[in-house]
Structures are given as structure tokens and as C-alpha cells.
Structure 1
Amino acid sequence: MCPKKQVIQALPELLNAQTIQQVKDRVQRSICAIGFDYYLIGLEDPAGAIDQYSVETNYPRDCVESYSRQKWITRDPVVRHCRQSPVPMIWHREHFPGEACRLYEESESHGIATGVATALRGARYNRLMMISVANGATYTPRLGSWLQETMPMVQLLASYAYEAISRIDREAIAAEIGLTRREGECLHWAAVGKTSWEISRILGCSEATVNFHFRNVIHKLGVTNRRQAVARALSVGLIRP
């Protein structure tokens, strides 16, 4: 079976992953089918702070720990590109000038020498995610042509991984916060601009009941008013815009 067909057939399984570990396992199988050895998925904090992010990767532990210890996140040319542009990037030694050359040389020593990186921000979750896939091959024009051909598959894989991870995170947050069905419905209608009276008519209850639900929501989300509750719920994906 050709790599492209193998990856495409595996996408529904990736989308339906129930845990982050399942996402990682399925991403790894897909990138291996394409011809890569390593992957790194970086997902920013909902607030968008560059120093608040989560990483899922199969990079060697020593490599990851050194990267974190030296705080390369703010100086990594690949991360910088992904934060600034949704256009996929083929990266290799020439993309790591100056002090970043040290980062490249350390990565290369672990078999991470060339790769493709891409980023996306979903309309539903509004969180930036980047995925970078790599192997240890030395860059040549021929390898560059192959990397160019793999870009669509990497982008497609990133889209499905983003959706799966965001759904899993949203469900975990929802379970932790513990909103009831009615509280979620009140938040949804508040997000589209409905007043308590209008929501009470939609849900078939009293306005006082709607306000009761909102007091509970505000407490559970750790905010001070309804507007902040809606903003918080949108930022973590509890409700859709």
C-alpha cells in the first residue's frame, strides 16, 4: 500500500482517538508510513502565551530536556515561523543561523536533521498548534523534492491531530469543571447574545432559574461575571463560537 493511501485510511482512527497517548501512537504510525522517524506537536496555552504550551513528541528525552533547559522556545527558527505563518516549512541546517546553529547540531546528533513543519489555528478552538516531523537524512535537492511532496500529507495529518487533541482536552476540561447540561445551554445562548429572559423562553424555565444557573457557571469557571464566563468557556472549547 502506498504511504499516502495508508495515511489517509488511518485518519478516521486518529480522529476518534480517546486519549492523547492514542493520538501519539497513531501519529507515529502515520509519519513512519510517510518516511519520518520523529514528530513534535506543540499546542499553545489558550491565552496564547509563548511560554505556556504543551508538547507531545517522540524526540529523545535528552534532546527535549536540553531544549527546555536552554529555553530554545523563544529562539527556535521553526517555532518562530509556525507562530507567524500557516505556510508549511521545509527545514534543515540552513534555517538555523547564528546561535541557533547550536540547537541544530544538538538535534542532528539525535537523528533530527531535516523535516517539515506546519501550523494551524482552528476556528472552533482558537489555539495555535504546530507539528514538525523529521528524520536524520542530510538535506539535498533530491531530498528537498521529496519533502515538498510530503507537505500535503503532513498538513492533513496535522488537521486531524489538532481536532482529536482539542476534543480530548475540551472533554477533560468539561469533566473537571463539571458543568451541567442546563448550565452549558445557558452559556451557549449567552454567547450568541441572548438575555436571561430570552434564554428562559428558549429553555422553558423561569428567568430566576437561568440566573441561578449563571451564578453556578461563574463560580465553576472562576470568573466574576457572565461576560467573562462566556469568554472563558469559548477559550477552552466548552462552547462553540
Structure 2
Amino acid sequence: MLETDFKRLPSNTKQLIEDSRSFNDALDVLMNVTGELGFTQVLYAYQPVRPQLPNGDWLPLKLNVRNFPKGWEEGWERFMKVDPYYRACFDGTLPIDWAKVQTSEQLASVQREACEYLGDFGLTRGITVPAHLPFGRFAVMSAIIDRPNVVWDTMLDQTREPLFRLMHVFTKVIFDLGFEAQIDVVRWNKLTPRELECLRWAAAGKTSGETAIILGRSLETVRLHIKNAITKLEATNRSQAVAMAIRLGLI
């Protein structure tokens, strides 16, 4: 049994995560550790690129969860970009109390709907811990409790620091183990294979004429693919489209 008084992480927590054979195994360990703290659900999410696009839009956040109620995910897709707990992560680096997010006057109506949607499944009290990683990457963990008889303020005070430590230990270990590619994420990709191919050659320094020769297509066709890519990426020119495609991990 892990100690419930987490002034520091138990010595075997890191080893338990290191013994995982996959990200899913590690997520099971995360559920067990947070469960010992009294939480009933846990989630972990990752963005391999900067979550907010230059046009102000946000990439959807895919939640990898343990012990969530059945059917919760069916209606969650419409909230993946506006998730208020996700957005709150960019106001700082410290653990976030869901209660403060829920009562914020800055929430948009659709974000209030997101809170209410999770609340319908009993998911109203939680702590979210963000990790802002190099090159704009982002990871987040939330520990949630659906038991109504818990004194939340006491639990918040007792677990906020250990969850902060746990999040950073967990993230470091799974990245050291090479599990990053196993984390389920939503990848932005509205470009066709041919549009991506043209952007790859543009990124390699080829002109549209050179790309047309390489691909065996007409110059007009290549220019059309580049133009479509610029429009879909909401870029202003070819160079910006290439930069955005690279930033999104598309090429």
C-alpha cells in the first residue's frame, strides 16, 4: 500500500512507472497511485505541438482516461477544443482546482456546458496539473473524485503538492521510456496527401515548377495544391503554410 500522506512521493512510485511495458500500463499505475490518494478517476493528455494555433484556434485535447463512467466520451467531442480545465492550464503552471474554474466569470457559455456535461456523469471535483514542455509541447493530468461525502477543501490541501510531484515524475519517466508515441492524441490534418506532398517539397526548398517535375504533375496543379494548403492552414503565403505544417507535425 502506498502512503496517503504525500509530503514526498513514496520511493517505489517511480519504480512502478518505470516497470511499465507501455503507456497504457503506466496509466494503470497512475490510476493506482492517485487511487491511494482517494481519487476515483484519472486522465492524462498530451499535445506534441503547441496547442494554440497562430490564428487563435486551439487543437482538440484527447483525454486518455481510467475509470471514467460509461458513455461519457460520446458527447465530449464538441468540448475538446474549449475544455475549460484544458484552457486554464495556460494561466500558470500550478495545480488547478476545478471548483475555481467552474465559478470563473470568464467562462464562455460552451465552457459552462462542458462543466455541466462532466457534472452529469458525477465528474465535478478534480485537480488538474499542467506540464509545459520544451518546444511548445504540453501534457496534463487530472485526478478526479466522484464521492459526494468527501470534504473537498481538506482533500485539495492534502493532495495538491503530491499530485504536482507525481505529474512531473510520471511525465519524465514515460518520455524517458519512449512511450510518447503511444499516447493517443488528436492530430490536426485537413490536408490531402497531395497537398502535404507539395508542402514537403516546398519545405525542401523546391519551387512549384521543380515540384511539378518531381511529381509528374502540371505547374498549375502544383500551384493549386499549394494554394489549397495555404487556405486550409489559414496562412498568408507559401512560407507561412510550410512553417505551420512543420509546427503541426504534418511534414
Q: Confirm or deny a common fold (TM above 0.5).
A: yes
Aligned equivalents of 2:180, 2:98: Cα separation in 1: 32
Q: Report the Cα offset of residue 31 of structure 1.
A: 0.8
The answer on 1:41 being equivalent to 2:38 is: no
Aligned equivalents of 1:78, 1:12: Cα separation in 2: 29
Structure 1 residue aligned with 2:139 = 129
Higher relative contact order (CA 8 A, sep 6+): 2
- Contact 1:108–1:136, Cα closer than 8 Å, also in 2: no
SS in 2 for 1:86: coil
RMSD: 3.5
Structure 1 residue aligned with 2:226 = none
So what's the TM-score if we normalise by structure 1?
0.61
Give the 5 Å matches for 1:93-108: 95=102, 98-108=109-119
Count of matched residue pairs: 179
What one-letter code is carried by the residue in structure 1 that aligns with 2:28? D
Residues 1:63 and 1:7: Cα distance change in structure 2 (over 3 Å): farther
- Contact 2:50–2:136, Cα closer than 8 Å, also in 1: no
Q: Among 224, 228, 239, which residue is 2:204 paired with? A: 224
Aligned equivalents of 1:139, 1:99: Cα separation in 2: 29
So what's the TM-score if we normalise by structure 2?
0.59
Structure 1 residue aligned with 2:194 = none
What one-letter code is carried by the residue in structure 1 that aligns with 2:174? I
Greater helix proportion: 1
What one-letter code is carried by the residue in structure 1 that aligns with 2:40? D
Q: Report the Cα offset of residue 170 of structure 1.
A: 5.1
Structure 1 residue aligned with 2:216 = none
Q: What runs of 5+ residues in structure 2 fail to find an aligned partner? A: 53-57, 183-199, 206-241
What one-letter code is carried by the residue in structure 1 that aligns with 2:14? L
Aligned-pair identity (%): 12
The answer on 1:13 being equivalent to 2:16 is: yes
Q: What runs of 5+ residues in structure 1 fail to find an aligned partner? A: 173-220, 237-241
Structure 1 residue aligned with 2:73 = 64
Q: Report the Cα offset of residue 61 of structure 1.
A: 4.6
What one-letter code is carried by the residue in structure 2 that aligns with 1:83? F
Residues 1:101 and 1:93: Cα distance change in structure 2 (over 3 Å): farther
Q: Among 51, 55, 68, which residue is 2:59 paired with? A: 51
- Contact 2:14–2:173, Cα closer than 8 Å, also in 1: no
Moved more, 154-163 or 85-94: 85-94
Residues 1:111 and 1:122: Cα distance change in structure 2 (over 3 Å): same
SS in 2 for 1:155: helix
Aligned equivalents of 1:139, 1:92: Cα separation in 2: 16
